Amino acid sequence: MRVAVAGFEYEGNSLSLRIARREDFARIGLFEGEAILAGIAGKALALTGGVQALRDAGVAIVPVFVAKSGAGGHVEDGFFAEAFTRIVEGITAALPLDGLYIAMHGAMICATEKDPEGAILAALRARIGPSIPIAVSLDLHAHVTPRMVAAADIIIGYETYPHVDAYRTGACAAGLLLRALRGEIRPVTRIRKYNAIVPVLGGATLGDAPMAHVVAHARALEAAGRALSVSAFPVQPWLDMADVGITGLAVTDADPAGAEAVAQEILDDLWQRRRAFELPAMTPGEAVRAALAMPGRVLLVDAADSIGGGASGDSPALLAAILAHAPDAESALCLVDPQAADKAFALGPGAEAAFDIGAWQDRRWCAPVRLAARVERLCCGVFTYRGGPAAGVTAGLGATAVLRVGGLRLLVASHAVYEHLDEHYAACGVDIAGCKMVSFKNLMNYQKLLGPGVGFIAVHGPGGTPLRLQDVAWENRRRPFWPADDMAVPTPLT
Ligand SMILES: [Zn+2]
């Protein structure tokens, strides 16, 4: 049997000014043809898991095209057109095929195409005809559209956040595809969706968090034989589109009505728990003062400027608060400002100078912070993810300066790069073990650093990934929607 594999993974954010171009994908993962297999080998990617499952079954893999990046604003039209063509034409050229497996994030946006994954899958379906099964793996924060569901036979989302099951999700998608190819099942996928969005910060699948219960419910539905696979998508909330909302999805064996019923049941569970996604948070000043009063190290999660959620990563709001309230405390903070990094490289190590830091790209929320600093170190910021959905992948902050300001070590990076744990700090010689406060621009991965003697505070405010979704000036969302409207009965989107 011959199965074509491809990947196009990117998470969009309508509030972000950061545009994803070809070079942004090339920095993380851009491969074509046979080079894909070497490019994904030894990593914990969904595509790696899918390819391994297919190989173990003796399937001939036809690798077509892979583009992977993190999160940001829209994908530039030219690169989307290139990737679309490479995937659709590449798979068409590889016919005859028995099946397709495609790894996607599921929440991409482009300047022109508002349903990029749906456009690719629909084009593929049109080219390959109705009988060749298509399996798709998605991120837990995917925005699943009816067009995607109509084109694909099998859709499976991650079930963990922090994301640690990308490999397994790819293997599961490929596993169902294999069963379909052997004629054991005839998979059908259905979704149900409500006009509701929930804060990403409260979406952990750990402990007693609401999503942990929803995921357990999904597993119970599978164990009871109600569906082959059940996914719950709390969705990437910072997408300004009318059809974005929490989603339940189920794959059944030739039972569309059963799939709809299970999708509805898991969606209703998600809806009932919506209030539990709201977590306490503080302003930057409150957070720094509270951290000083807490024992041990404190992780400050800059929720409004999460690079992992697509924000520009250049907000200096927390920097300003640390300088104002705890200038001598040993702290570490990373933000994106290529102009300040360039200045530090021009000055050289050991130089002392005044810098204007932050709000390099996005001045809608904060102004740059002026400070006097010593250039402590200059580096290229290259690191390999130790876990998460990009485990094993090498990424780079670009030219990065470590500035010393009082007790603070300030990483000034050139690129906004998805943070996992402290790999980016370690790559620049900053050991967070000795820090009182450490700032992160990722909404969930910090969880893996928590433990005895380590606390955490979520910091809220204006930004590209604001916690309070009801305060965003949405242009395209329809009312009523949760949480702007406290309706007792949800409004269906599908
Ligand atoms: Zn995600």
Q: What is the mean pLDDT of each run of 10 residues along the chain (494 residues)?
A: 98 96 94 96 96 98 97 97 98 98 98 96 97 98 98 98 96 98 98 98 96 98 98 98 98 98 98 97 98 96 96 97 98 97 98 97 93 98 90 93 98 95 96 96 91 94 94 96 95 92
235 CA distance to ligand 1 centroid (A)? 8
pLDDT at 462: 87
Q: The pTM is what?
A: 0.95
141 CA distance to ligand 1 centroid (A)? 5
- The gap between the terminal CA atoms of the chain, to the nearest Å, is 36
The CA distances from residue 389 to 33, 168, 170, in Å, are 22, 11, 11
pLDDT at 390: 83
279 CA distance to ligand 1 centroid (A)? 18
pLDDT at 313: 96
338 CA distance to ligand 1 centroid (A)? 26
157 CA distance to ligand 1 centroid (A)? 10
140 CA distance to ligand 1 centroid (A)? 5
pLDDT at 388: 84
pLDDT at 100: 98
139 CA distance to ligand 1 centroid (A)? 5
244 CA distance to ligand 1 centroid (A)? 15
236 CA distance to ligand 1 centroid (A)? 7
Give, to the nearest 10 degrees, the angle between helix 317-325 and helix 284-293.
50
286 CA distance to ligand 1 centroid (A)? 28
130 CA distance to ligand 1 centroid (A)? 30
371 CA distance to ligand 1 centroid (A)? 35
464 CA distance to ligand 1 centroid (A)? 16
387 CA distance to ligand 1 centroid (A)? 14
369 CA distance to ligand 1 centroid (A)? 31
448 CA distance to ligand 1 centroid (A)? 16
> How many Cβ atoms from other residues are within 10 Å of residue 420's Cβ?
26
73 CA distance to ligand 1 centroid (A)? 15
Under 8 Å between Cβ of 404 and 376? yes
355 CA distance to ligand 1 centroid (A)? 34
261 CA distance to ligand 1 centroid (A)? 25
